[in-house]
Amino acid sequence: MADPAIGTTCTLEVDHLLKTLGVRRGGVLMVHASLSGTGADPRLVRDALRTALGPAGTLIVPTFTPENSDTSRAYQDVVAGMSEAEVTQYRMSMPPFDPQATACPTMGALAECTWTTRGAVRSAHPQTSLAGLGPQAKTLLRRHPVRSHLGRLSPMAKLYAADAQILLLRVGFEACSALHYAEYLMRPRPPKRAYRCVVEDKGNWITYQDISLDDSDFGAIGAGLPRELLREAVWASKSVVLCRMRDVIDHARAHLPGHRRALA
């Protein structure tokens, strides 16, 4: 059982941290977080975030499910070592994505806690869904077509338009999924590839095309951001960064093409 004293201390620390960084009351905040090793109850962290945002604010978290795809690293790790017959059986038994029921184990405790909270809204994409709490969540997450993971037709575009803030709570820019939106805005655009996942019923695999998403250089892009665009702190021995999504995307959009040409 968690120690209530630890939970209370952590919550007070997060409350102070959010006020110091400048979380915008009444705004939209997208949070990527790792609570591992903090002793913090994700429910209390969720509540601290919602308190900082106020009743008019909206909390958004990524609730990605890469496990629901045979084109993902997560799937490949699971089937490694299986025989062909075992892989076939596993594929046929994989449950379809259900925004009301499918867990997001790779996204962390805060994301899982948020989407399972009463009143939460979750977008419908079977691999890159987002979830939210607050008055704008339904509008922001309403439309999420399968052919647009995190592009112009996805909620990410609406978050950009809403001037959302991004909070990286003990994670680096490597985890900043908003940077994928900059890939859709790049010119020339990245090549497309096929994605496959399970929807509606077991065994109902669909294939669709979208750009080839690549997060391998997000850490470098984050390191190159002008420091005046960031509010930085430390909590539980790891860094915390608050920034505007527009600032991050606009910088990445301008620098990703040249950065990737240099790496090619």
Q: List pLDDT tens digits, range 48-68.
A: 999 999 999 999 999 999 999
* pLDDT average, residue stretch 8-23: 83
pLDDT at 128 over 80: yes
| Residue 10 confidence (pLDDT) | 64
Residues whose CB falls within 8 Å of the CB of residue 205, separated by 6 or more in sequence, listed in order: 70, 91, 196, 197, 198
Instruction: Write the DSSP assignment of 25-73 as a string of letters.
Output: TTSEEEEEE--TTT---HHHHHHHHHHHH-TT-EEEEE---TTS-TTSH
Rg over CA atoms, the chain:
19
C-alpha 262/C-alpha 264 separation (Å) is: 6
* Residue count of the chain: 264
Q: Which of these, 57, 112, 85, 89, lies nearest to 202 by C-alpha position?
A: 89
pTM (two decimals)? 0.93
* pLDDT average, residue stretch 211-230: 95
Residues whose CB falls within 8 Å of the CB of residue 32, separated by 6 or more in sequence, listed in order: 61, 62, 166, 167, 168, 169, 171, 175, 176, 177
| Residue 3 confidence (pLDDT) | 52
pLDDT at 84 over 80: yes
pLDDT band at residue 8 under the 50/70/90 scheme: low
Percent of the chain with pLDDT over 90: 85
C-alpha 18/C-alpha 14 separation (Å) is: 6
Beta carbons of 173 and 179 less than 8 angstroms apart: yes
Rounded to an integer, what is the distance from CA 6 to the centroid of its chain? Answer: 27
Mean pLDDT of the chain: 93
pLDDT at 259 over 90: no
